[in-house]
Structure 1
Amino acid sequence: MKFAPGAWKYAILPLLVAPFALVFSVTASLLALAASAGTLAFFRDPERTPPPTGVVSPADGTVSVLREEGDRVRLGVFMNVWHVHVIRAPFDATVTDVEHVSGANRPAFSKESDRNERVHVRFETASPNLPAAAEPATDTTQNQDEPTSDAEVTFIAGAFARRIHPYTERGDDVDRGDRLGHIAFGSRVDLLFPPTVDLEDVAVDVGDSMTAGETVVLESAADPGSNFVLER
């Protein structure tokens, strides 16, 4: 079993305490072993296989937010203690910015969590799994090599999640399903879709269960390798 970075830092102390606790109490020793095993389970990092097409969920958990914000759509996934807390790329992209924002540590399921500590990972993407932007009718100055979409994955700390660990930095290229980072002991992950995505395009709803890197949250807008957008 693979574990996210930092797992043993948290698990080693109760593991070392367990044999000494046995001198005083079998129960205390078992509790220490359980704490160590529980910590390792929390940091587990199983392999995931993305489906052939579609935008995939960035996190394990339950959809807690699905709303329009101006011309954008936000999808939020709440992670409970039993979920895998490794975050994955929803589509092929290039990282353009990684920004840490200080804030509170409110429960991730509350409305106040929008002001919590967070890390924004911003992307440029021309993924065929996303709806293509309309071509401008008169603007001939746009660089054709520039990506056509931009998006953002936000790691949000919660009441117990005080450590956000992004794995990527500006300029990194990521493939769909690649690991972007993890949140130690929490909490919520948001995906802000590119402006080309409408609310009705999203294939999941509030309350749906997600598996990072595998659950399709937006069906592919075009066949892989094709430059043609499917007619709806």
Structure 2
Amino acid sequence: MSMIDSIRKQMTPIHPEGYIFVAGFAIATLILGSFFGPLGWIGTIATGWCAYFFRDPVRYTPLDDALVVSPADGVVSSVGYFTPPPELGLSTEPMQRISVFMSVFDCHVNRAPIAGRVTKIAYKPGLFLNADLDKASENNERNGLVIEAEGGRFGVVQIAGFVARRIVCFARQGEAVGAGDRIGLIRFGSRVDVYMPGTARPLVTIGSKAIAGETALAELRSNGPRRNFKSG
């Protein structure tokens, strides 16, 4: 393997959603740098951050239908029972929910927490409060998916934050998704909630670090076989 191939293998690709932003930062850097050198260096750092923000690394998802994997990179900010958004039609009673908060330094590509079929997608406009606040679940702009799986019905809600102004959903109603499949992206700092049946047993706690498509947030059974993994 050549040095160039080795470097290419180690590089994390940029998601296509980020191309226009990285290009915009780069063009602005060239223009500013032509007027004042230090601004060019600042722009170079900003362009590097933008490329880093839109990174889309390969993830290795455990192949176990009894596991609920994290839909987002970040820190677990909430574990408990909460009423899901009414537009999802999941339940009028509280369901078990785990929330993952993404900072502007986390990867923002969202992934399916479990294998199943997307039976509903519901977008709701709203505010742009700090996504780490509990009331963000009710008041902020959000996009929700309902996934029918063997273990029951699950809700995945992308929530915009104070900086985030754009929720992108890749999934389509009626299509099948596998655990760890890419389902969306949020720009630039936000949160994803996962609503699960009460039989799910949380495997994380508030403050736990989560990696999208890899970290098991909960388990639908107490004992299971040895886990295999897929990449994607």
Match of 1:121 among 137, 145, 159: 145
Q: Does 1:165 align with 2:147?
A: no
The aligned residue for residue 179 of structure 2 is 176
User: What is the rounded CA distance, in whole Å, between the counterparts of 2:176 and 2:72 in structure 1?
Assistant: 19
Contact 2:78 2:97 in 1 (8 A): yes
Match of 1:30 among 16, 41, 45: 41
Q: Which structure 1 segments of 5+ residues have no match?
A: 131-148, 225-232
Match of 2:107 among 84, 95, 116: 84
Contact 1:86 1:181 in 2 (8 A): yes
The aligned residue for residue 213 of structure 2 is 213
Q: Does 1:43 align with 2:57?
A: no
Match of 1:109 among 92, 110, 132: 132
Distance apart, 1:11 and its partner CA: 1.6
Give 1:164's aligned amino acid. I
Give 1:28's aligned amino acid. L
After superposition, give the CA deviation of every residue in 1:22-44 in whole Å (9 maximum; x if it has no partner).
33221111111222211111110
Distance apart, 1:195 and its partner CA: 4.0
User: What is the rounded CA distance, in whole Å, between the counterparts of 1:18 and 1:194 in structure 2?
Assistant: 49
TM-score normalised by the chain length of structure 2: 0.81
Q: Which structure 2 segments of 5+ residues have no match?
A: 1-11, 83-92, 226-232
Higher share of residues assigned helix: 2
Distance apart, 1:71 and its partner CA: 4.9
Match of 2:119 among 96, 109, 112: 96
Give 1:118's aligned amino acid. R
Contact 1:71 1:195 in 2 (8 A): no
What SS does structure 2 have at the residue aligned with 1:160? coil
Give 2:58's aligned amino acid. E
Q: Does 1:9 align with 2:20?
A: yes
User: What is the rounded CA distance, in whole Å, between the counterparts of 1:17 and 1:116 in structure 2?
Assistant: 31
Give identity over the alignment, percent: 34
What SS does structure 1 have at the residue aligned with 2:46? helix
Distance apart, 1:50 and its partner CA: 1.0
**Runs (4+) of structure 1 moved beyond 4 Å?**
none
Give 2:208's aligned amino acid. D
Counting matched residue pairs gives 201
Give 1:48's aligned amino acid. R
RMSD of aligned Cα (Å): 1.8
Higher share of residues assigned strand: 2
Distance apart, 1:220 and its partner CA: 5.2
